[in-house]
Structure 1
Amino acid sequence: MDKTHAWFSSALAEKGINLTSAQMEQFETYFQLLVEWNEKMNLTGITEREAVYEKHFYDSIALSFYVDMKNVRHIADIGSGAGFPSLPIKICFPHLHVTIVDSLNKRISFLQHIAAELGLSDVSCVHGRAEDIARLPEHRDHYDLVTARAVAKLNVLNEFCLPFARKGGTFAAMKGADPADEIREASTSLRELKGKSASTEAMKLPFEQSERHIILITKIDSTPKKYPRKAGIPLKQPII
């Protein structure tokens, strides 16, 4: 085991996640494919191996430090890009049924390839805008856990993501620096979209020590019929 795998495995073990050799191989294949495909399309600005393990893999899995994945079966990842955070979480917790929604078909092709190459079952990649997909009966008010990582401001994310969560489910918005201002700005959208702020968890990446925050929101009732609004409107006219 090289030093990157050693610290990664050890850091997760400290959090109660003990990876098998097969899971470590999945992460390494993921890294190699990410770098390979990144030469053909813009997936990430981070390609150095140590940084990918810390800033993409570890950072993604950190969601499971604050959400008990044993109580989660269906997870939706909105605007996942290169598969973060849902695919690293899926590697660690194989029982999860993962749905990834992304508006760019090239990224969907990459994600499908990753899932196939890693042998990940129960991964569905859906091409489309979150506002459109959230209106489909099979996705609306359905998921135990909905995630989004560095996609948009919280008052916009609430409209993108809360319609996917079931009543009693959780929306986890993964952010960088202190999101206190965003949370204040999002109070109206929370009320409108039947969400209630549960907690904001703070952590630092193990080496870079940059701040990360995870905003946990509980869905308290079904999504009102008028939400989400038509594609493009939540970004142009956030609920305030």
Structure 2
Amino acid sequence: MQDSRAGELQDTLPELNEVWQETIGWQPTEAQQQQFQQLYQSILVGNRQLNLTRITEPQEFWEKHLWDSLRGIQPWLSSLDASDSKSLKAIDIGTGAGFPGVPAAIVCANWQITLLDSTRKKIAFIDSLLTQLNLRNAKTLVDRVEAIGQERHYRDHYNLALIRAVSAASVCAEYTLPLLKVGGTAVLYRGQWTEEEQTGLDRALAKLGGKQTFVDAFTTPFTGGIRHCIHIQKEKPTPIEFPRAIGVPVQKPLG
């Protein structure tokens, strides 16, 4: 019995409401906390069959997956309870194990979130996860972002695109901007942010019809990890040649 209880405690996420409030100005409801816990447990189970994440210790999972995911959408969290809070269509590109899209779907119940990944096994896992969590505001899509960026059902369709450090910033801009409506926003989740990446992104944005609105620099609350969220707004329609064919943005970045 002692071993069993120890295992249960080890797999329990910390609540840390004060840290949420101090660092983001928001904190989860009791129901959302329960969904976070269920998400964590499901990831641990899924990890036995799929290589979902190396981050499995409770506090590290809280910081590097939950907190990090929601810190990127902090500007939207403050209006969630407002009477004029609007529904928006969001896409999480390269969602992997479901971050940042699944935590966003838990917290932003009025959003419609598409979780995109090219790995069918991961999407199958997320499908089961969405069912377990009863998240009806999220759906999955198995495809390459270069492909859907040229399809009329997805191009110019979203208000918000989230992309978590899958490639160089200029490449992420080419992935996200074709999917956004004019006036929509892309949030690029980064670690370090260098002058070289800034220069490359500026060059890409000039070709893609976007502008950088601000760089949100911060550190994670426990390990002090350096993070940057780069916010990009789509100012005008992206030329039809973008995104280029599958693999080309990575091989030949615009920047």
Partner of 2:212: 197
Q: Does 1:58 align with 2:67?
A: yes
Q: In structure 2, how many angstroms separate the alpha carbons of the residues matched to 1:20 and 1:66?
A: 19
Residue in structure 2 matching 1:178, options 193, 207, 212: 193
3-state secondary structure, aligned to 1:138? coil
Q: In structure 2, how many angstroms separate the alpha carbons of the residues matched to 1:101 and 1:216?
A: 20
What is the CA distance between 1:5 and its match in structure 2?
A: 2.9
Partner of 1:134: 149
Residue in structure 2 matching 1:47, options 56, 62, 73: 56
The C-alpha deviation readout for 1:24-71, integer Å capped at 9, x for no partner, is 110001001111111111111111111111110000000122345645
Q: Does 1:10 align with 2:18?
A: yes
Moved more, 60-69 or 48-57: 60-69
Task: Give TM-score scaled by structure 2 length.
Answer: 0.88
Q: Does 1:83 align with 2:98?
A: yes
Structure 1 runs, 4 residues or longer, greater than 4 Å off: none
Q: In structure 2, how many angstroms separate the alpha carbons of the residues matched to 1:200 and 1:180?
A: 12
Residue in structure 2 matching 1:106, options 94, 109, 121: 121
Q: In structure 1, how many angstroms separate the alpha carbons of the residues matched to 2:90 and 2:146?
A: 17
**Percentage identity across aligned positions?**
32
Residue in structure 2 matching 1:207, options 214, 222, 226: 222
Residue in structure 2 matching 1:156, options 162, 165, 171: 171
The answer (yes or no) to whether the contact 1:72–1:144 under 8 Å persists in 2 is: no
What is the CA distance between 1:72 and its match in structure 2?
A: 5.5
Residue in structure 2 matching 1:31, options 32, 37, 40: 40
What is the CA distance between 1:23 and its match in structure 2?
A: 0.9
Letter in 2 for 1:230: A
Task: Give TM-score scaled by structure 1 length.
Answer: 0.94
Q: In structure 2, how many angstroms separate the alpha carbons of the residues matched to 1:72 and 1:149?
A: 22
Give the alignment's Cα RMSD to 1 decimal.
Answer: 1.6
Partner of 1:120: 135
Letter in 2 for 1:97: Q
- Structure 1: which 5+ residue stretches go unaligned? none
What is the CA distance between 1:120 and its match in structure 2?
A: 0.4
Q: In structure 2, how many angstroms separate the alpha carbons of the residues matched to 1:171 and 1:71?
A: 17
What is the CA distance between 1:12 and its match in structure 2?
A: 2.1
Partner of 2:244: 229
The C-alpha deviation readout for 1:73-117, integer Å capped at 9, x for no partner, is 111110011111111111111111001111100111111111110
3-state secondary structure, aligned to 2:245? coil
- Structure 2: which 5+ residue stretches go unaligned? 1-8, 80-84
The C-alpha deviation readout for 1:125-151, integer Å capped at 9, x for no partner, is 100100001111121111111010010
Moved more, 19-28 or 64-73: 64-73
Question: Structure 1 84/180 Cα, relative in aligned 2: closer, same or farther at 3 Å?
Answer: farther
3-state secondary structure, aligned to 2:15? helix
What is the CA distance between 1:180 and its match in structure 2?
A: 3.4
Q: In structure 1, how many angstroms separate the alpha carbons of the residues matched to 2:188 and 2:251?
A: 20
The answer (yes or no) to whether the contact 2:200–2:254 under 8 Å persists in 1 is: no
Moved more, 179-188 or 218-227: 179-188
